[in-house]
Chains A and B, each alone.
Chain A
Amino acid sequence: EPEVTQTPSHQVTQMGQEVILRCVPISNHLYFYWYRQILGQKVEFLVSFYNNEISEKSEIFDDQFSVERPDGSNFTLKIRSTKLEDSAMYFCATQTGNEQFFGPGTRLTVL
């Protein structure tokens, strides 16, 4: 069964560094999402992406964040200058019809 994959599974970085989280969507899915879950808290919507542009973004998704599909397959989330509060699990999701499929997540730790 097709799955959404995410790399890396765990990323440790220093405050102020740039990180790129990668997602490989399920083939033929057209809608893509990033969600964030701070440890012990709920899963929060960050951004949705369709037809190579952002469809919707939350208040969390400020200028430090960006998304793109650099090669038509990967879907990436970039955090330009990480802060301690960016430490969280980041989930990618892709959608077909009205159902989203979540990846296993990338745990980002900012030191």
Chain B
Amino acid sequence: AQKVTQAQTEISVVEKEDVTLDCVYETRDTTYYLFWYKQPPSGELVFLIRRNSFDEQNEISGRYSWNFQKSTSSFNFTITASQVVDSAVYFCALSLTTSGTYKYIFGTGTRLKVLA
């Protein structure tokens, strides 16, 4: 079975705190992709990062960093020095190949509230 679990439903932090959003996935496929999306109150899905299953290097982009660990099937997302503008719902997603298409399986999302 393919599944993405985001156990944290909602997290509240005070501005400038660091925060980590957890993502655990399940798949038997050896080739897959993992993603993080941000959904602000306006509703659109904002792409943050894509990682393929063969690349376990961690990545840093400004205040954002991602920790991919195949051994624990986790792809966690850390925001350093959080800001009020980071307040949104964050979704982790898994992409599988079926008949040449790559449907995405999303987690239930984590709502992040950053308080001033």
Contact = CB atoms under 8 A, between A and B. Distances in A.
Interface of B: 33, 37, 43-45, 47, 50, 52, 91, 93, 95, 98-109
A102 interface: yes
A31 B99 CA distance: 11
Contacts of A45: 103-105
Interface stretch (A17-25, A35-43, A69-77, A79-87): A35-43
A59 interface: no
Q: Which of B93, B100, B103, B109 has the most CB of A within 10 A?
A: B103
A93 B44 CA distance: 12
Majority-rule SS of A interface residues? strand
B33 A98 contact: yes
Contact of B103 (A48, A89, A101, A107): A48
Contacts of A42: 91, 106-109
A89 B105 contact: no
Majority-rule SS of B interface residues? strand
A89 B43 contact: yes
Nearest to A43: B106
Q: How large is the interface on A (under 10, 10 to 19, 20 to 34, 35 or more residues)?
A: 20 to 34
Interface of A: 31, 33, 35, 41-45, 48, 50, 55-56, 89, 91, 93, 95, 98-102, 104-105, 107
Nearest to B31: A98
B104 A35 contact: yes
B99 A56 contact: yes
Nearest to B105: A45
B104 A43 contact: yes
